[in-house]
Amino acid sequence: MQSGTVTDSLRVGGLHARVVNAVGQSIVDARYAPGDILNLDELSATFAVSRSVLREAMRVLQSLGMIEPRQRVGTQVLPRTSWELMNPQIIVWRGRGPEYFTQMREMLEMRLGIEPVAARLSAQAMTDEQLAAVSAAADAMVVADRDGDGRGFLEADVDFHAQILRGSGNAVMGHFASTVEALLRTREEEKRFTITSYTPPSAHRHHELAHALAVRDREAAYRWSFATIEATLAEFMAESPRQA
């Protein structure tokens, strides 16, 4: 999962990023179906880019498992089972489209299996400085809830979970932080991206988790982490369409 390189290149912008984002989003939104052959001449004309720029964009999408050039066939769109679903860029694309709730459910279920273990490890491995950062993020969530600051709450939430994953002492879990950050940021485009009735109990659970880490209680950290993610999953299941 070498996601950072791809994602960073797309943030730079320019023709290359425009093509990657447009074609990638179209694949995620099923405007191109699995098995479709991309017409590269048509794409080059549509985006007014050279073949070299287009080839580089196609290489990025190929690295994400979304397309595959095939001899005597052309550049073929691959099914979702081939995609790098934990890559932050694919998470962004799925989060903008009709798969928003489906992705949230899938990723929250996965986080239930990873983040409580990371919290247990972090209760032992985190430095005092890292613990202070987690506590500050939890405090910021309470303040944001009180002030009705949805964006502030999100930023503190992102920081909170990333700190725990990276503080676990497990490099693979630390790498997962970029995936979780991308997932949480898809909520920026959610229609109800505001402080809700779910926010105060969520802030409380984050605070309890921060306290468990601070006192180095590994089992309490596991329990509060699980409870925090489980509650978010229940929230999304209650509000998502049935097909999610």
Instruction: Please state, in angstroms and rounded to a whole number, the distance separating the CA atoms of residues 97 and 31.
Output: 11
**Residue (of 43, 48, 46, 62) closest to 15 by Cα position:** 48
Task: Kindly give the confidence (pLDDT) of every residue in the chain, 244 residues in length, as a single tens digit, with 9 standing for 90 and above.
Answer: 334 444 444 444 588 899 999 999 999 999 999 999 999 999 999 999 999 999 999 999 999 999 999 998 999 999 999 999 999 999 999 999 889 999 999 999 999 999 999 999 999 999 999 999 999 999 999 999 999 898 899 999 999 999 999 999 999 999 999 999 999 999 876 555 566 788 899 999 999 999 999 999 999 999 999 999 999 999 888 887 765 5
Pair 153, 195: CB distance under 8 Å: yes
Dmax (CA) of the chain? 63
